[in-house]
Amino acid sequence: METVIRKRIEILVDTPLVRRVTDAIDRAEITGWSVLPVTSGSGRDGRWREERVMGTDKSLVLSIASAEKAEVLVDALAPLLTSHGLLLTMWNVEVIRGERF
């Protein structure tokens, strides 16, 4: 079966900001996304755990897109990367039925 290269995009975001991220994905005309809860982690600022009372719980937003649409999304989210501490990673993946992404 033939595959094509697309970009897998992962964005770690404070859960209250998920809607802003998914709206940006929609505006970039990327056809789909998924949101997964993240319960704990560790980073430059140390360990953290989900804390719904304080509103510091995090989510992982996943999407797959063409390189062109991924670039549009990155440009749209660039201001939030620093101001809201988003972590955005992106790499090439092989997909079947590339016309869907």
Three-state SS string over the chain comes to CCCEEEEEEEEEEEHHHHHHHHHHHHHCCCCCCEEEEECEEEECCEEEECCCCCCCCEEEEEEEECHHHHHHHHHHHHHHHHHCCCEEEEEEEEECCHHHC
For 11-47, how does the pLDDT look when each residue is reduced to its tens digit (9 = 90+)? Answer: 999 999 999 999 999 999 999 999 999 877 777 767 7
The ranges assigned to domains in the chain are: 4-94
Q: What pTM does this model have?
A: 0.85
Class for the domain spanning 4-94: alpha beta
Residue 98: the pLDDT is: 76
